[in-house]
């Protein structure tokens, strides 16, 4: 999940917690307040009814009721029961109210009880040596309606607030991450070809400025290292090749010397052969190092892959005259543009030659088939042999420099060709796939983006 979305979510969750706590507080506070006010109204009525009941004078008693009706009105489902104090157990049971409720009222302070949406009060009244308990009950339907409305209001308010907070959180985090996204865009655009580029540092005196500055410092160090490596590779290439050429020239001269004993001639020949191998190895290693970091697009041109494969086949014919390499042109794309890539001809030829020569080598010159096709982005070259294959657990390592599979002891090699091929194809924004089965064969599939993609 993007950090941006994470921030928006955390922001929303925190706000949800706060708004929820506030809503619960408001709900309970309102509920307490409405219920207390209703109990109070019920108690007033209960008191009037109790005093009316204790009134000996019947006309005064009816005045009590009259005042109650005219000035207070009745509550929904309002009921009053006058009980002798103390009352017997049977009466208590009949009312199905807890016994403790009848013990509670002290002096003028009534007891309150709430059960099944109904509010109950019990009031102890004493007058002229007479003692009664007034048990009153009523249903606060208006209060219940108020609470239901409040609940709906709080729920809808909560949901709207959440949508609002999430949208604000998104906008807010997107605004905060704007400079970070710009840095990511800029860093993505920097590669081996334009290592001199630097990020724009806004003097904002914040973390983003520090981040850009840190990237720039790192790029400074990288550029120096690349420069040093570049110089080392070209110097080493020169320094290694010159003495090797001299040694192989001297060995050739030595072999041609007249009257040389057979043993010495053979020694010169061995020196010549080993130096040749060393030269090849040096060239491959230097190419590997160069393609690994140096993406310079010098000598890049339009390359027709079908023509390139033909020249690879010609080279293979010269090196291994009895090879059985065939090219299948039946699946060539009709559109020629899909066969043209932009790249370095010499490097691409080296890359495909490595694969084709390996296929001949590791199949002891069994048939090797090259097929060229294209999809909507890549020109695809499949090279299939019927050779020794690569053990399953080792396939992942064949592009690692100097790695050789465990079944290759019969064959000469250094483990440099495929890493070089891999680097060259990647340098051209392509990719290589390998499918192989031991004792059945191997298929290398290379994908190179065509020029007009
Ligand atoms: P090498 O000089 O050993 O051929 P490469 O870098 O060209 O070095 O290849 C690396 C390893 O990949 C080889 O040692 C071999 O184990 C394996 N490999 C490459 N191509 C094939 C193939 N066509 N068939 C079987 N194994 C292969």
Is any ligand 1 atom within 6 A of the Cβ of residue 385? yes
Strand order in the sheet with 118-127: 79-84, 130-139, 118-127, 111-115
Is any ligand 1 atom within 6 A of the Cβ of residue 417? yes
Is residue 296 predicted with pLDDT exceeding 60? Answer: no
**pLDDT for the residue 330:** 92
**pLDDT for the residue 298:** 62
How would residue 377 be classed by pLDDT, with cut points 50, 70 and 90? very high
**pLDDT for the residue 431:** 95
Q: Which long-range contacts (CB under 8 A, 24 or more apart) does 75-79 make?
A: 75/38, 75/41, 75/42, 75/45, 75/138, 75/139, 75/140, 76/138, 76/139, 76/140, 76/141, 76/142, 77/118, 77/137, 77/138, 77/139, 78/42, 78/45, 78/136, 78/137, 78/138, 79/136, 79/137, 79/138
CA-406 nearest atom, ligand 1: 16
Higher pLDDT, 156 or 115: 156
Pocket test for ligand 1, best of 365, 396, 413 (most atoms within 8 A of CB): 413
**pLDDT for the residue 42:** 94
**pLDDT for the residue 159:** 95
* Over residues 356-379, mean pLDDT: 95
Give the least confident one: 51-60, 244-253, 286-295, 354-363: 286-295
Ligand 1 centroid to residue 357 C-alpha, Å: 10
**pLDDT for the residue 238:** 74
DSSP 68: I
**pLDDT for the residue 68:** 83
Is residue 94 predicted with pLDDT exceeding 80? Answer: no
* Over residues 269-296, mean pLDDT: 75
Ligand 1 centroid to residue 325 C-alpha, Å: 17
Alpha-carbon dihedral 250, 256, 261, 264, rounded to 10 degrees: 30
CA-354 nearest atom, ligand 1: 7
Is any ligand 1 atom within 6 A of the Cβ of residue 443? no
Q: Take atom 19 of ligand 1 and give the residue whose Cα is closest.
A: 358
How would residue 190 be classed by pLDDT, with cut points 50, 70 and 90? confident
Ligand 1 centroid to residue 329 C-alpha, Å: 26
**pLDDT for the residue 292:** 57
The DSSP H or E segment spanning 334 is none
* Over residues 187-215, mean pLDDT: 83
**pLDDT for the residue 163:** 93
Ligand 1 centroid to residue 219 C-alpha, Å: 36
CA-408 nearest atom, ligand 1: 16
Is residue 114 predicted with pLDDT exceeding 70? Answer: yes
* Over residues 225-247, mean pLDDT: 81
Is residue 54 predicted with pLDDT exceeding 70? Answer: yes
**pLDDT for the residue 297:** 59
- The 3-state DSSP class for residue 198 equals coil
**pLDDT for the residue 180:** 87
Ligand 1 centroid to residue 6 C-alpha, Å: 47
Ligand 1 centroid to residue 237 C-alpha, Å: 25
Is any ligand 1 atom within 6 A of the Cβ of residue 195? no
**What percent of the chain shows pLDDT beyond 90?**
50
Is any ligand 1 atom within 6 A of the Cβ of residue 8? no
The DSSP H or E segment spanning 121 is strand 118-127
Closest C-alpha to 96, from 132, 120, 123, 124: 120
Paired strand residues for 326: 369
Mean pLDDT of the chain: 88
Which range of 71-75, 322-326, 333-337 scores highest in mean pLDDT? It is 322-326
Ligand 1 centroid to residue 306 C-alpha, Å: 24
* Over residues 427-435, mean pLDDT: 93
Give the least confident one: 76-80, 122-126, 308-312: 122-126
Ligand 1 centroid to residue 288 C-alpha, Å: 16
Q: Take atom 14 of ligand 1 and give the residue whose Cα is closest.
A: 404
């Amino acid at each position: 999940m993007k950090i941006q979305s994470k921030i928006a979510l955390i922001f929303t969750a925190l706000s949800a917690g706060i708004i929820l706590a506030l809503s619960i507080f408001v709900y309970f506070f309102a509920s307490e307040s409405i219920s207390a006010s209703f109990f109070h109204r019920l108690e007033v009525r209960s008191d009037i009814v109790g005093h009316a009941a204790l009134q000996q004078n019947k006309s005064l008693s009816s005045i009590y009721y009259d005042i109650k009706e005219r000035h207070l009105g009745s509550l929904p489902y309002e009921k009053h029961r006058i009980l002798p104090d103390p009352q017997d157990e049977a009466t208590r049971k009949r009312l199905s109210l807890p016994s403790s409720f009848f013990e509670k009222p002290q002096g003028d302070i009534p007891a309150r009880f709430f059960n099944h949406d109904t509010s109950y009060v019990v009031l102890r009244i004493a007058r002229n040596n007479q003692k009664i308990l007034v048990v009153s009950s009523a249903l606060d339907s208006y209060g219940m309606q108020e609470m239901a409305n409040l609940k709906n209001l709080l729920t809808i308010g909560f949901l709207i607030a959440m949508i609002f907070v999430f949208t604000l959180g998104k906008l807010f985090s997107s605004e905060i991450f704007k400079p970070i996204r710009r840095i990511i865009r800029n860093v993505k655009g920097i590669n081996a070809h334009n290592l001199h580029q630097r990020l724009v540092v806004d003097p904002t005196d914040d973390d983003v400025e520090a981040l850009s500055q840190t990237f720039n410092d790192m790029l400074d160090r990288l550029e120096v290292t690349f420069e040093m490596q570049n110089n080392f590779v070209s110097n080493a290439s020169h320094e290694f090749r010159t003495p090797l050429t001299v040694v192989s020239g001297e060995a050739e001269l030595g072999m041609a010397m007249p009257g040389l004993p057979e043993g010495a001639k053979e020694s010169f020949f061995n020196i010549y052969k080993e130096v040749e191998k060393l030269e090849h190895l040096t060239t491959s290693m230097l190419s590997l190092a160069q393609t690994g970091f140096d993406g310079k697009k010098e000598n890049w041109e339009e390359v027709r892959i079908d023509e390139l494969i033909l020249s690879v086949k010609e080279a293979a014919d010269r090196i291994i005259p009895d090879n059985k390499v065939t090219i299948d042109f039946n699946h060539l794309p009709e559109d020629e543009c899909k066969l043209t890539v932009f790249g370095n001809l010499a490097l691409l030829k080296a890359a495909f030659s490595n694969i084709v020569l390996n296929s001949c080598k590791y199949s002891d010159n069994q048939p090797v088939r090259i097929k060229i096709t294209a999809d909507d982005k890549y020109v695809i070259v499949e090279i299939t042999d019927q050779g020794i294959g690569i053990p399953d657990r080792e396939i992942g390592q064949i592009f690692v420099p100097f790695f050789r599979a465990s079944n290759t002891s019969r064959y000469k090699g250094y483990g440099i060709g495929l890493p070089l091929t891999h680097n060259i194809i990647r340098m051209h924004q392509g990719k290589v796939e390998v499918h192989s089965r031991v004792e059945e064969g191997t298929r290398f599939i290379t994908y190179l983006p065509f020029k007009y993609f």
